[in-house]
C-alpha cells in the first residue's frame, strides 16, 4: 500500500467532482447550447471551483513543506503563460488573461498535488471516465437525427461542421485511460464498464464523420500493439476493433458511406484542404511571433480569422518558441512517466502511450486539444499513474527543511 500523508491536501471529493465535470461539461453545448449566458456562467463557475481547489492545495502544501516533483513538467509553461498575460494586460490595451487555458493547467496541478493514495486515484479516474461516457451518450440519445451529419441547426445554434467535436474530445481524453485503469482491476464489471465507455465515446465521435478519429484510432491501436508485444492483449484489442467494425457497419451504414465520401474528397483536394491553407497563412508570418508569441490578436495572421488548427502551432503563435519548448517538455514528462509505468505493467503503459499518441494525432492537425480542460485532467492523471503501484510516496516528493 502507498504510505499516505497524515492529512490530505484537500477533500478528495472535490477532486472527484472536478474530474467528472471536466469531461461531462463537453456535453454543455448539447444541453444548453441555446443559452450562451448560462454556458459562459458555468464555465466561470468551473474556473472558480478549480482555482479554489488549487489555492487550498498550495496553502496546505506550503504548510507541510511538501510539493510533488512532477510540477516541474508543467510549472515553467504555466509561469510563462501567466507572466506574458499579465505583462500584456498591464502594458497593452485590452484583456489578455487566457482564463480557459490557465484553468486547464490548474486542473493538471490539482490532480498532481492532491492525489496521495490508490483509492482516491481510482475514484478520480473513474469519475473522469464516467463523465466522458455520459457526455458522449447525451447527443446520441437527444439528437439521433444528427448522426451522420456535421452541420445543422440545433436549438437556435448553427453548427458549421463540428456538431460532434465535443464527443471526440471526450473519447480522446478518457477512452484509453479507462481501459488502462481496468487493467489494474480483477473485477469483471469494471473492465466491462471501461470498454463500454470506450465504445460509447468512439461511436459518438464516429457519428460526426471525423476523419481524424479514424487516423488516431489506427495510430493508437498500432502504438498499443507495437509496445505491448504480447499475443493475449493483441487478441483482445483485435476483438475490440471487430466489435467497433460490426457496430458501425450494422447500425450506421449511412455514416460509413458519408465518411468514405469525405475521405475521397480529401484525397482529391489536399492542397485546398482548409487546415493546410490556415497553416500556410500562419507560417508565412512566423517572424511576427516566433520568440515570445503574438503581442496582439493572433488570429489576425489568418485572413479568415481561424485559429492555427494545430496544438504545436498554437503554442508557437500565441506564446512563441518559449511556449512551444515548454509544451514539448510537458510531453517529454508524460513519456517519462509512462516509461516508469512499464516497470509495473507493460499493458497499462502501452494503453497510456496509445492515449498520448491519439491526443497528439488529434491536436496536431486540429484546433481541438489546446485549451480543453479534460485533456489537462488527463495529463495530471497520467503524470500520477505510478501511484497505483508505488509503495513509498516519499520518493516522488520534495521535502523542504
Judged by average pLDDT, the poorest of 76-80, 92-96, 333-337, 393-397 is 393-397
Question: Is the pLDDT reported for residue 215 higher than 50?
Answer: yes
Report d(CA 318, CA 298) in Å as an integer. Answer: 6
Question: Looking at the domain assignment, is residue 303 inside a domain?
Answer: yes
Question: Is the pLDDT reported for residue 222 higher than 80?
Answer: yes
Report d(CA 258, CA 241) in Å as an integer. Answer: 20
If DSSP states are collapsed to H, E and C, what string results for the chain?
A: CCCCCCCCCCCHHHHHHHHHHHHHHHHHHHHHCCCHHHHHHHHHHHHHHHHHHHHHHHHHHHHHCEEEHHHHHCHHHHHHHHHHHHHHHHHCCCCCCCHHHHHHHHHHHHHHHHCCCHHHHHHHHHHHHHHHHHHHHHHHHHCHHHCCCCEEEECCEEEECCCCHHHHHHHHHHHHHHHHHHCCCCCHHHHHHHHHHHHHHHHHHHCCCCHHHHHHHHHHHHHHHHHHCCHHHHHHHHHHHHHHHHHHHHHCHHHHHHHHHHHHHHHHCHHHCHHHHHHHHHHCCHHHCCCCCCCCCHHHHCCCCCCCCCHHHHHHHHHHHHHHHHHHHHHHHHHHHHHHHCCCCHHHHHHHHHHHHHHHHHHHCCCCCCCCHHHHHHHHHHHCHHHHCCCCHHHHEEECC
**pLDDT score of 93:** 63
Q: What is the mean pLDDT of the chain?
A: 87
Question: Is the pLDDT reported for residue 316 higher than 90?
Answer: yes
Question: Looking at the domain assignment, is residue 7 inside a domain?
Answer: no
Rounded to an integer, the average pLDDT of 53-57 is 95
Could you read off the pLDDT of 225-281 as tens digits, one per residue? 999 877 777 777 778 778 877 877 776 676 666 666 665 555 544 454 688 899 999
Residue carrying the nine cell digits 450562451:
36
Question: Is the pLDDT reported for residue 2 higher than 60?
Answer: no
Confidence of residue 399 (pLDDT cuts 50, 70, 90): very low
Confidence of residue 400 (pLDDT cuts 50, 70, 90): very low
Please tell me the total count of domains within the chain. Answer: 1
Question: Is the pLDDT reported for residue 154 higher than 80?
Answer: no
Residues forming a β-bridge with 153: 158
**pLDDT score of 244:** 78
- Cβ atoms of 103 and 46 closer than 8 Å: yes
Q: What is the pTM of this model?
A: 0.90
Report d(CA 92, CA 294) in Å as an integer. Answer: 12
**pLDDT score of 368:** 92
Rounded to an integer, the average pLDDT of 191-203 is 94
Report d(CA 101, CA 81) in Å as an integer. Answer: 9
Residue carrying the nine cell digits 456535421:
150
Report d(CA 222, CA 213) in Å as an integer. Answer: 14
**pLDDT score of 95:** 67
Neighbours of 10 (CB within 10 A): 22
Look at 116 and 204; give whichever has higher pLDDT.
204
Query: Burial level of 37, CB count in 10 A (0-12/13-18/19+)?
Result: exposed
Rounded to an integer, the average pLDDT of 321-330 is 97
Question: Is the pLDDT reported for residue 65 higher than 80?
Answer: no
**pLDDT score of 273:** 63
Question: Looking at the domain assignment, is residue 2 inside a domain?
Answer: no
Could you read off the pLDDT of 346-394 as tens digits, one per residue? 999 999 999 999 999 999 999 999 999 999 999 999 999 998 886 544 4
Question: Looking at the domain assignment, is residue 5 inside a domain?
Answer: no
Question: Looking at the domain assignment, is residue 6 inside a domain?
Answer: no
Confidence of residue 321 (pLDDT cuts 50, 70, 90): very high
**pLDDT score of 259:** 64
Q: Which range of residues forms the domain containing residue 320?
A: 12-399
Question: Looking at the domain assignment, is residue 117 inside a domain?
Answer: yes
Question: Looking at the domain assignment, is residue 58 inside a domain?
Answer: yes
Question: Is the pLDDT reported for residue 338 higher than 90?
Answer: yes
The candidate with the shortest Cα–Cα distance to 320, out of 287, 298, 289, is 289
Question: Is the pLDDT reported for residue 4 higher than 60?
Answer: no
Question: From residue 325, how far is each of 8, 74, 321 by CA, in Å?
Answer: 33, 11, 6
Confidence of residue 69 (pLDDT cuts 50, 70, 90): confident
**pLDDT score of 157:** 73
Question: Looking at the domain assignment, is residue 227 inside a domain?
Answer: yes
Amino acid at each position: 500500500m502507498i504510505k499516505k500523508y497524515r492529512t490530505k491536501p484537500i477533500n478528495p471529493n472535490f477532486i472527484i467532482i472536478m474530474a467528472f465535470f471536466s469531461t461531462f461539461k463537453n456535453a454543455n453545448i448539447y444541453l444548453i447550447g441555446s443559452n450562451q449566458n448560462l454556458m459562459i456562467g458555468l464555465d466561470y463557475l468551473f474556473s472558480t471551483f478549480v482555482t479554489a481547489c488549487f489555492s487550498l492545495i498550495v496553502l496546505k502544501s506550503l504548510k507541510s513543506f511538501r510539493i510533488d516533483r512532477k510540477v516541474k513538467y508543467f510549472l515553467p509553461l504555466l509561469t510563462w503563460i501567466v507572466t506574458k498575460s499579465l505583462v500584456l494586460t498591464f502594458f497593452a490595451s485590452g484583456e489578455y488573461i487566457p482564463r480557459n487555458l490557465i484553468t486547464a493547467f490548474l486542473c493538471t496541478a490539482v490532480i498532481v498535488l492532491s492525489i496521495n493514495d490508490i483509492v482516491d486515484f481510482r475514484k478520480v479516474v473513474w469519475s473522469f471516465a464516467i463523465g466522458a461516457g455520459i457526455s458522449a451518450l447525451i447527443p446520441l440519445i437527444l439528437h439521433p437525427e444528427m448522426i451522420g451529419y456535421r452541420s445543422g441547426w440545433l436549438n437556435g445554434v448553427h453548427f458549421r461542421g463540428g456538431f460532434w467535436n465535443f464527443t471526440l474530445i471526450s473519447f480522446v481524453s478518457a477512452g484509453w485511460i479507462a481501459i488502462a485503469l481496468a487493467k489494474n482491476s480483477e473485477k469483471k464489471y469494471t473492465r466491462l464498464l471501461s470498454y463500454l465507455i470506450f465504445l460509447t465515446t468512439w461511436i459518438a465521435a464516429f457519428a460526426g464523420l471525423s476523419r481524424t478519429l479514424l487516423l488516431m484510432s489506427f495510430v493508437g491501436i498500432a502504438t498499443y500493439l507495437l509496445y505491448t508485444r504480447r499475443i493475449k492483449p493483441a487478441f483482445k484489442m483485435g476483438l475490440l476493433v471487430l466489435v467497433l467494425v460490426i457496430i458501425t457497419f450494422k447500425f450506421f451504414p449511412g455514416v460509413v458511406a458519408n465518411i468514405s465520401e469525405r475521405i475521397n474528397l480529401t484525397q482529391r483536394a489536399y492542397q485546398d484542404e482548409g487546415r493546410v491553407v490556415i497553416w500556410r497563412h500562419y507560417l508565412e508570418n512566423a517572424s511576427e511571433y516566433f520568440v515570445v508569441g503574438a503581442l496582439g490578436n493572433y488570429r489576425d495572421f489568418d485572413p479568415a480569422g481561424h485559429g492555427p488548427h494545430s496544438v504545436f502551432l498554437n503554442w508557437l503563435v500565441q506564446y512563441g518558441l518559449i511556449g512551444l519548448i515548454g509544451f514539448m517538455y510537458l510531453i517529454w514528462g508524460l513519456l517519462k512517466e509512462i516509461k516508469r509505468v512499464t516497470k509495473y505493467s507493460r499493458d497499462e503503459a502501452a494503453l497510456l502511450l496509445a492515449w498520448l499518441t491519439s491526443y497528439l494525432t488529434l491536436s496536431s492537425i486540429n484546433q481541438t486539444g489546446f485549451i480543453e480542460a479534460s485533456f489537462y485532467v488527463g495529463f495530471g492523471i497520467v503524470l500520477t499513474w505510478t501511484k497505483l503501484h508505488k509503495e513509498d510516496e516519499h520518493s516522488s516528493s520534495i521535502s523542504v527543511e
